Amino acid sequence: MTGVLLFSLLACTTLHLLSRALRRYLLKKETILLDLPFLGQAREEATKIKGTVVVCGGSISGLLAARVCHDHFERVVIVEPEAWLSTEDGRICESWNQRNKRTRVMQYNSTHGNLVPITDGLTRLFPNFEAECQKSGISIVPGDFRLSPGGHTVLCPHHEYSTGSVPSTILAGRRATETLIRRLTLDQQTYPNIQQISGTVTGVKRTTTNSDDGTDRYLDKVTIRTESGDSRSITEIISVLVVDCTGPTRAGEKWLRHAGFLANGSNNIENSSLKSSKLKTATYDPQMHYMTFGLSIPPSIAATIPEYVEKKDAPGIFAYKGDASKTNTVCVAAKGEGDFLTITCGAWGSNASLPDKFEGVKAHLESVKSATPIPEWIWNFLDLCQQPEVQSTLQVTKVRTPPSFWTHFESAGDVLPSNWIAIGDSVCVVNPIYGQGGTKAMIGAVSLNSTLHQLYKKSRTEQEKQTFLPQDFSQRFFRTQANKIASIWMGNKMIDYAFKSTIPEEGETLDTGSFIRWYLNRLERLCDSDKQIGSLFWHSLNAYGVSIDVLHPVIFIKVIFHVIVTSKFWYGSR
Ligand SMILES: Cc1cc2nc3c(=O)[nH]c(=O)nc-3n(C[C@H](O)[C@H](O)[C@H](O)COP(=O)(O)OP(=O)(O)OC[C@H]3O[C@@H](n4cnc5c(N)ncnc54)[C@H](O)[C@@H]3O)c2cc1C
């Protein structure tokens, strides 16, 4: 008997230790949590890699990539076509007074939420982050997003953190977020090696020496078209690394094909391994539409609803998403910088009707058919938003969000140049309603930093530290990044496939992943009563969970138990 007990104890302990080790391994592989401590740790100036990094695109991904590269390379040049972004207006503290408008980023005035990894990354990259947020009226608050999938409000796992609250996020819309990151990155006093120039990258050139040592797999120049008044000129920058951050334009792929990479049987490629195109792009279309109502509520008016005052210092005022078996709508109110907030009415499907006037917001919120009653103060708050002082600040924008895609550079093998990488929306675009695009850009920047850190640790001599990137550099980076964005892609897709209007990926149907969707739907029903399940939702939204979390035996048992209990109730009520 004692033997059996001892054996069971030993087996349980071993299993426990093994599962902890597996989870730690997956945390490293699938999230940025264990990479974050290395962010912002710069090499000594003398050991920085010689040469210039050219970052193509000066939006969120480009700015983050440039800041990371500053810690590892001698010089960084950001090339951005929108010339005003290189002026004071592109870095202004009070972003609401910005005179210029973004022409290449359609979501500049749409709703925008920042998840926790963005703040976790920015605080490490910029020691003056908090002070600069303050100058821009951006609050830093615990990341309680008050999500209510199917109408069940996720229990936020404050209790799991020693500070008594979950890690923080910034309350800032898209314009304020991008402008803040630009001001921090282009601070010439702190980061003198980063320069931004106005121009459009038009192509890349490969190293001309075609030797057996593979040097022809490196790019050595970036071609840029600059415009000044009526005159146009073409410049070339010799580059040690090229980072494509051109967003959904995915301009990098075109430059590579033109330079003889990726293309089938291109004439100027001797090496046969470069002849076959192995680059695959997965695409599906959630057919998401939404209206954003941007408002500003002065404190004196806000004070009339105490619940709003109490809840406004959180990124989510409320976020109701309907159960896909009953409805296709979503309604979210999110706090931005200063007194700004946005109310978003969204729907899956091309025929979905959306309110084009603020008066229609209440009906839209009702259309989510919440499983739990929507609190009275929310309806009062929507009434308050209709007061003339608030309505006079109203800005309405409508977007049809683009199809989601993921280009699998990580599986492209040696058809890519060794010193070319891509980050952010140039690699993968996900349904923006989940607010994970900025997090994906941060994941890319953190992956780049970790790849460069590993390279530094492996270099034996000072000379090695400062020279060329290895031939497998690009592949190492893309694999690291892909492992960390996979959960965002899959998670979004599984939710989007629940809506009949979604156009699935080639080779799939909307039934793909139906068991997972059923299981997730069951979890949704428990996320407002079970702390462990609430924590699972919060961590996976922030890309801080790992793939096995959802299959934790205790969670699995809870789901099964819930299925049994609720079906008994159903039979009893007949
Ligand atoms: C409607 C909508 C709402 C969204 N809401 C959210 C949200 O709430 N939260 C969130 O985190 N994410 C959200 N996203 C996603 C988020 O905006 C993107 O993931 C994020 O902007 C990615 O940034 P990026 O730098 O990769 O690309 P982009 O922001 O698209 O920037 C690309 C940059 O490249 C430049 N460029 C283009 N071509 C060239 C060229 N040839 N040479 C040089 N530069 C070039 C452009 O001028 C631009 O500055 C939303 C997206 C949409 C469409």
Tens-place pLDDT, residues 109-141: 878 999 999 999 999 999 999 999 999 999 999
Determine the pLDDT at residue 274: 41
pLDDT of residue 267: 36
The answer on 477 and 440 residing in a single domain is yes
Comparing CA positions, the residue from 512, 355, 490, 477 lying closest to residue 431 is 490
Q: Are residues 369 and 301 in the same domain?
A: yes
Residues contacting residue 549 through CB under 8 Å, at least 6 positions apart = 536, 539, 540, 555
Phi-psi region of 413 (alpha: psi -120 to 50; beta: other; left: phi over 0): left
Of 158, 130, 121, 160, the closest CA to residue 143 belongs to: 158
Average pLDDT for residues 304-330, to the nearest whole number? 91
**Residue list, ligand 1 pocket, CB within 6 Å:** 56-62, 79-82, 104-107, 110-113, 200-201, 245-249, 251, 399, 401, 424-425, 432, 435-441
**pLDDT reading at 463 higher than 90:** no
pLDDT band of residue 533 (cuts 50, 70, 90) is: very high
Interval between CA 106 and ligand 1 midpoint (Å) = 8
As to burial, measured by CB atoms within 10 angstroms (0-12 exposed, 13-18 middle, 19+ buried), residue 103 is exposed
Where would I find the H helices in 353-411? 361-366, 376-385, 388-391
Considering the domain architecture, whether residues 241 and 120 belong to the same structural domain is answered as no
In a domain, 460, yes or no: yes
Q: Which CATH number belongs to the domain containing residue 210 in this structure?
A: 3.50.50.60
**Ordered alpha helix ranges (H), 423-461:** 437-458
Could you say which of 467, 494, 521 is where a domain stops? 494
Fill in the amino acid letter for 18: L
The reply to whether 297 falls in a domain is yes
Same domain flag for 408 and 486: yes
Collapsing DSSP states into helix, strand and coil, what is residue 236? Answer: strand
Count of domains for the chain: 2
Q: How confident is the model at residue 224 (pLDDT cuts 50, 70, 90)?
A: very high
* Count of CB atoms situated within 10 Å of the CB of 500: 10
Instruction: Check whether residue 304 and residue 159 sit in a common domain.
Output: yes
Domain boundary among 351, 384, 400: 400
Q: Are residues 422 and 395 in the same domain?
A: no
Tell me the pLDDT of the chain averaged across its residues: 91
The DSSP-derived string for 274-339 is GTS----EEEEB--EEEEEEEEE--HHHHTT-HHHHHHSSSSEEEEEE--TTT--EEEEEEE-STT
Which two three-digit tokens encode residue 45?
């100036």
The set of residues, in sequence order, having a beta carbon less than 8 Å from that of 537 and lying 6+ positions away, is 147, 149, 154, 523, 527
Q: pLDDT band for position 352 (50/70/90)?
A: confident
In a domain, 418, yes or no: yes
- Give the mean pLDDT of 18-25: 91
Q: What's the CA gap between 328 and 322, in Å, rounded?
A: 6
- Same domain flag for 464 and 408: yes
Look at residue 569 in the predicted model and tell me its pLDDT.
Answer: 59
Residue 276 confidence (pLDDT) = 47
Span from the CA of 244 to the centroid of ligand 1 (angstroms): 12
Quick check: helix, strand or coil at residue 195?
strand
Tell whether 244 is covered by a domain: yes
Give, for ligand 1, the residue of 425, 439, 440, 481 to mutate: max count of ligand atoms closer than 8 Å to Cβ. Answer: 425
Start-to-end CA distance of the chain, whole Å, equals 49
CA of 117 to the centre of ligand 1 (A): 17
Question: Are 298 and 339 contacting, i.e. CB atoms less than 8 angstroms apart?
Answer: yes
Tell me the C-alpha distance between 228 and 176, whole Å: 28
The pLDDT of 44-60, averaged and rounded, is 95
Q: Is the same domain home to 368 and 292?
A: yes
Residue 211 pLDDT class (50, 70, 90 cuts): low
Residue 534 lies in a domain: no
Please give the pLDDT value at position 231: 72
Count of positions (residues) in the chain: 574
Q: Which CATH number covers residue 362?
A: 3.30.9.10
Q: Give the distance (Å) from ligand 1 centre to CA of residue 402.
A: 12
**Residue 331's domain spans which residues?**
103-173+285-400
Q: Are residues 247 and 323 in the same domain?
A: no
Residue 572 forms part of a structural domain: no
**Does the pLDDT of residue 273 top 80, yes or no?**
no
Q: Whose CA is nearest to atom 9 of ligand 1?
A: 435
Q: Is 313 among the domain residues? A: yes
289 and 157, same structural domain? yes
Helix axes 531-541, 514-526, angle to 10 degrees: 120
Residue type, 81: P
487 with 433, same domain: the answer is: yes
Whether residue 1 lies inside any domain: the answer is no
Task: Note the pTM of the prediction, 2 decimals.
Answer: 0.94
Do 107 and 45 sit in the same domain of this protein? no
Domain end point (choices 378, 400, 422): 400
Rounded distance from Cα 522 to ligand 1 centre (Å): 34
